[in-house]
Amino acid sequence: MDLNNLTNQPGEWLKGVGPEVDIVISSRIRLARNVDGYPFLTTAKEEEKRELLEVILRQLRKLEARREGEPPLMFLNLNEVSHLDRLFLVERHLISKELALGKGDRAVVLDSEESLSIMVNEEDHLRIQALCSGFQLNSLWEKIDRLDDEISQLLPYAFHKDWGMLTACPSNVGTGMRVSVMLHLPALVMTHHIDRVFQTVQKINFTVRGFYGEGTQALGDFYQISNQITLGRSEEDLIKSMQELIPQIVKYERTVRHSLLDEKGVELEDRVWRAYGMLKNARVISSKETMDLLSAVRMGVNLNLIDEVNVRTINELFIQTQPAHLQKLEGCTLPVDERDIRRAAYIRSRLN
Amino acid sequence: MDLNNLTNQPGEWLKGVGPEVDIVISSRIRLARNVDGYPFLTTAKEEEKRELLEVILRQLRKLEARREGEPPLMFLNLNEVSHLDRLFLVERHLISKELALGKGDRAVVLDSEESLSIMVNEEDHLRIQALCSGFQLNSLWEKIDRLDDEISQLLPYAFHKDWGMLTACPSNVGTGMRVSVMLHLPALVMTHHIDRVFQTVQKINFTVRGFYGEGTQALGDFYQISNQITLGRSEEDLIKSMQELIPQIVKYERTVRHSLLDEKGVELEDRVWRAYGMLKNARVISSKETMDLLSAVRMGVNLNLIDEVNVRTINELFIQTQPAHLQKLEGCTLPVDERDIRRAAYIRSRLN
């Protein structure tokens, strides 16, 4: 298995299948875990990190043997992965920017369907992530819970009977779980109703983040909603809150889309087609502009305002026009100016 | 001959033939004349205006009889022409806005090729205009000079041996002549070099005006350059100055276009193709935006940056997307909102 094989597929998270997928791009659960008997990475020495990595990978390889009938795993030592490939993995939401840009002994274990990733020596010893297209938290929870049990049999976790899972940052103590849902909310952005969503979400202790998670900008009208609290609530309880919250936002976005269609149908159509026209004709285009235009076209496809392109192509373009993806497609690293030209050419080749 | 026949042709001034036509859209000479023995229109009573109109039209009909082998003339009493048709004539640069929106007895005499128009009872008794595509002032001058001689034999002009032709406004006394050249200067606008053109032109007593002449905005990077002084210089002298000035501006625009091509070729190409993409895909578009986008595409065609459309179609779209033209093409008067939608549909039908 080779990273290059991933280049031509949109990845699990932009596959475009699953419930509510017109608005809910993907669901994700990640668990922060630490191995008992080792110091947290905030204080660990280089030798301890190296040993940890060896121990963890050795145990995870045992896991692989047990995964009969499931997608094969890929073990990547981040020090042996090029800078470009590391950014590529960030763009696919398989590793964090911190792991990609970090130093020292660290790794990621992925499955070939990109529905699973285990970061080793990120902020915690282990960051186990399960990802799927659309809105399906129950099956995701079952899957990651089972995996978590299996790993815990191989690697005893740092655990406190009152506090629960112990983590490097206190904000993760307890369940160590973060449930995130990526939403596409162009109509709420267009009408500025998004601000009300932000306020409501924050009031009930959820957070809203941009396309690449913590501290990143919203791009292409994509927003990640996730829980802020990990302590004092069970995993099932957290998932239940999310299952109550997300459908309300989805409904809100749909309502606003339809009232836009009713009241400003032609302006909406104009916006969608102009975005499509720009994508089809630009000769220089930034990653940000691409995302914004694709966002408008994506909504247009979902509202049947445009039929010249399908949602799969749009989803693929979202990921394949990202800087690292584009450079991998072109087979070389490129300066920003040149990327903007090649990006425009690539988009044209896909849309024409 | 019917005004509706003109709807489907771009008119002489946007025909796209003649010297320097990539930059010089059209050349125009107009003569202000008044009939001896009648008061200027600033003081004339309604009965005098009516009588004047009758006298002038009777004499001009004699002219028609003599025009063997030349395009037929059309006599239009403006009071009998609908508001929409009058605006249509303004858009074709065949009558002034003042004549279109004015009141009382007034008329225009046109030839079917739209290379000649004689306004009756505008600011002066007669405003004789000859128009042609491209930069060709000599032939235009020969043509209008001959016509002026013929008319003067039928209608003796108000003339003073020292001052020359007498006109309602002192700014036209002398030759009564205004020579105008319509230029397409997108590269000078884009690089802000246009300001230097304005300064130079004004210093030597020429003026720069917008798309529809005096007091109108520049649209689509079109500028009209014309003489300010009519007194103390002969017609030939004025034309000669214009023949010295215009080639310099044309050369300037060409130089800037080519240095843009050399230094920012891809950005220029991007601008042209994006403009084309917008025109091909918009669902709502104003007249002003249309002109701006067509301007970019026109330059792109002239620089061989785009070959999916020819300059004739672009020239036709410039005129046919104007409000009155559009309404005539649609066969009815339309509110602005509806026009913007129909305009977008019309452009798509022409470009797809």
Q: Which of A210-219, A279-288, B104-113, B223-232 has the lowest mean pLDDT?
A: A210-219
> With bands split at pLDDT 50, 70 and 90, how would you rate the model's confidence at B230?
confident
Residues from chain A that touch B276, judged by Cβ atoms under 8 A, are: 281
ipTM: 0.89
Q: Which of B267, B272, B273, B297 is best to mutate for the A interface (most A CBs within 10 A)? A: B273
Q: Is the pLDDT at A105 greater than 60, yes or no?
A: yes
From residue B44, alpha-carbon distances to A202, B123, B205 in Å are 77, 11, 32
Whether residue B274 and residue A281 make contact (CB cut-off 8 A), yes or no, is yes
Nearest to B283 among A273, A281, A283 (CB): A273
Residues from chain B that touch A305, judged by Cβ atoms under 8 A, are: none
Whether residue A278 and residue B277 make contact (CB cut-off 8 A), yes or no, is yes
Q: Is B341 on the interface with A (CB under 8 A)?
A: yes
Q: Is the pLDDT at A63 greater than 90, yes or no?
A: no
Q: Is A351 on the interface with B (CB under 8 A)?
A: no
Q: Is the pLDDT at A69 greater than 90, yes or no?
A: no
Q: Which residue has the higher pLDDT, B350 or B219?
A: B350
> With bands split at pLDDT 50, 70 and 90, how would you rate the model's confidence at B204?
confident
Closest to B175 (Cα-Cα) out of B119, B121, B226, B236:
B236
Mean pLDDT of A64-87: 89
Q: Is the pLDDT at B1 greater than 60, yes or no?
A: no
Q: Which of A12-21, A91-100, A139-148, B191-200 has the lowest mean pLDDT?
A: A12-21
Residues 282-301 of A with CB under 8 A from B: 282-285
The token duo for A313 is: 């192509």
> With bands split at pLDDT 50, 70 and 90, how would you rate the model's confidence at A102?
very high
Whether residue B283 and residue A276 make contact (CB cut-off 8 A), yes or no, is no
User: Taking a C-beta distance cutoff of 8 angstroms, is the pair B72, B111 a contact?
Assistant: yes
Per-residue pLDDT reduced to its tens digit, B277-292: 999 999 999 999 999 9
Whether residue A267 and residue B284 make contact (CB cut-off 8 A), yes or no, is yes
Q: Which of A47-61, B61-75, B87-101 has the lowest mean pLDDT?
A: B61-75
pLDDT confidence of residue B214 = 59
Q: Which of A283, A293, A309, A351 is best to mutate for the B interface (most B CBs within 10 A)? A: A283
Pairwise CA distance, residues A312 & A317, whole Å = 9
Closest to A279 (Cα-Cα) out of A267, A298, A294, A266:
A294
User: Taking a C-beta distance cutoff of 8 angstroms, is the pair A322, A339 a contact?
Assistant: no
Nearest to B284 among A270, A278, A283 (CB): A270
pLDDT confidence of residue A18 = 85
Residues 207-266 of A with CB under 8 A from B: 266
pLDDT confidence of residue A213 = 63
Nearest to B274 among A276, A282, A341 (CB): A282
Residues from chain A that touch B338, judged by Cβ atoms under 8 A, are: none
> With bands split at pLDDT 50, 70 and 90, how would you rate the model's confidence at B352?
confident
> With bands split at pLDDT 50, 70 and 90, how would you rate the model's confidence at A264?
very high
For chain A, the average pLDDT equals: 92
Nearest to A283 among B270, B282, B283 (CB): B270
Nearest to A283 among B269, B280, B281 (CB): B269
Q: Is B308 on the interface with A (CB under 8 A)?
A: no
> With bands split at pLDDT 50, 70 and 90, how would you rate the model's confidence at A84?
very high
Nearest to B283 among A270, A278, A344 (CB): A270
Q: Is A277 on the interface with B (CB under 8 A)?
A: yes
Instruction: Quote the strand ranges of chain A, DSSP E.
Output: 24-33, 73-77, 107-111, 116-120, 126-133, 159-160, 164-165, 177-184, 206-209, 222-227
Closest to A181 (Cα-Cα) out of A90, A112, A250, A258:
A250
Paired strand residues for A116:
A130
pLDDT confidence of residue A38 = 94
Q: How far is A276 from chain B (nearest CA, A)?
A: 8
> With bands split at pLDDT 50, 70 and 90, how would you rate the model's confidence at B106?
very high
Closest-CA residue in chain B for A268?
A: B283
Per-residue pLDDT reduced to its tens digit, A282-330: 999 999 999 999 999 999 999 999 999 998 899 999 999 999 999 999 9
User: Taking a C-beta distance cutoff of 8 angstroms, is the pair A286, A340 a contact?
Assistant: yes
Q: Is the pLDDT at A242 greater than 90, yes or no?
A: yes
pLDDT confidence of residue B210 = 80
> With bands split at pLDDT 50, 70 and 90, how would you rate the model's confidence at A204?
confident
Q: Which of A7-16, B112-121, B188-197 has the lowest mean pLDDT?
A: A7-16
Q: Is the pLDDT at B137 greater than 90, yes or no?
A: yes
Closest-CA residue in chain B for A305?
A: B283
Q: Is A70 on the interface with B (CB under 8 A)?
A: no
pLDDT confidence of residue A229 = 83
The token duo for B36 is: 């001896």
Residues from chain A that touch B341, judged by Cβ atoms under 8 A, are: 266
pLDDT confidence of residue B4 = 75
Q: How far is B282 from chain A (nearest CA, A)?
A: 5
pLDDT confidence of residue B6 = 76
Nearest to A281 among B276, B282, B283 (CB): B276
pLDDT confidence of residue B7 = 72
Closest-CA residue in chain B for A280?
A: B277
pLDDT confidence of residue A226 = 94
User: Taking a C-beta distance cutoff of 8 angstroms, is the pair A156, A35 a contact?
Assistant: yes
Q: How many residues does chain B have?
A: 352
Residues from chain B that touch A266, judged by Cβ atoms under 8 A, are: 283-284, 341
The burial of A262, by beta-carbon neighbours within 10 Å (0-12 exposed, 13-18 middle, 19 or more buried), is given as exposed
Closest to A13 (Cα-Cα) out of A174, A108, A135:
A135
pLDDT confidence of residue A167 = 92
Instruction: Say what angle helices B336-351 and B311-320 make with each other, to 10 degrees.
Output: 170
Q: Is B280 on the interface with A (CB under 8 A)?
A: yes
> With bands split at pLDDT 50, 70 and 90, how would you rate the model's confidence at A231?
confident
Whether residue B281 and residue A276 make contact (CB cut-off 8 A), yes or no, is yes
> Residue A100: what residue type?
A
Q: How far is B30 from chain A (nearest CA, A)?
A: 42
Q: Which of A85-94, B211-220, B259-268, B317-326 has the lowest mean pLDDT?
A: B211-220
pLDDT confidence of residue A216 = 61
Whether residue A281 and residue B277 make contact (CB cut-off 8 A), yes or no, is yes
pLDDT confidence of residue A59 = 95
Question: By percentage, how much of chain B surpasses pLDDT 90?
Answer: 76
What global pTM score does this model have? 0.90
Q: Is the pLDDT at B152 greater than 60, yes or no?
A: yes
Averaging pLDDT over each range in A94-98, A202-206, A208-212, B71-75, which range is the top one?
A94-98
